[in-house]
Structure 1
Amino acid sequence: MRARACPCGLPASYGECCGRFHAGGAAPTAEALMRSRYTAFAVEDEAYLLRTWHPATRPPRVEFERGLRWTGLQIAGVSGGGPADTRGTVTFEARYTHLGRSGELRERSRFARHESAWVYVEGTATG
């Protein structure tokens, strides 16, 4: 039986890719965190999303839209966010369907190190 592909689009199974971060591993880069957070939205893992959100900007909970299905992620650019950095940005396009209609979310997300782990700070729509 073939393992389920990771929703983030990398050529690995969910368990080998983003699933290991959802299970408690730390993402080594801002891009890896971005991909794992996209996947967390796709699999509706609220606990992971809240755990990887900066405490200064974290909402009390994450609401998942009924009828929304994430269908693809493309990274458009990365600045900083490497293993030795303290800040980084990732620009991406996330595709989805909602009640049978296709759409996309384009965002530039800011990430920072908090207690030695990458966390999402905030995002700005880019289109």
Structure 2
Amino acid sequence: MTEVRYLQIDEILAIARTVNGTEHSVRDMGLLVSAIERPRTDVFGAELYPTLHEKAAALLHSVARHHALIDGDKCTAWLAMRVFLRFNGVSAGTVPPPVSIAGPFVEEVAQDDIDVPVIAKRLSASFPVS
């Protein structure tokens, strides 16, 4: 895999501001930082999430589950995952799943009903790398 472009804290804060319409949307900055760092996790020198879609899944899962924001965790998680994939080669022209599919999917993620490998598989089907 080529070098991965990860989301930075200022970028996810901008996404949260857009979602919530306010500068004051963070409940716990430590949890938010932890959520965006999770895709980079190494265990004994090996990447825990080696593929791009696994990294995107870890990001989506962490932002949706940590509840680091006052409101808008799920929407922010979805948009952050989309931005991350766009930064890393998924075409801007890729049509995302409709809200009728994406909404329940993100809800499943937020409720911890599905784990990262399953999330990654679903993301790879919807957002192929070009």
TM-score (norm 1): 0.27
TM-score (norm 2): 0.27
Higher helix share: 2
Highest RCO, 1 vs 2 (Cα 8 Å, sep ≥ 6): 2
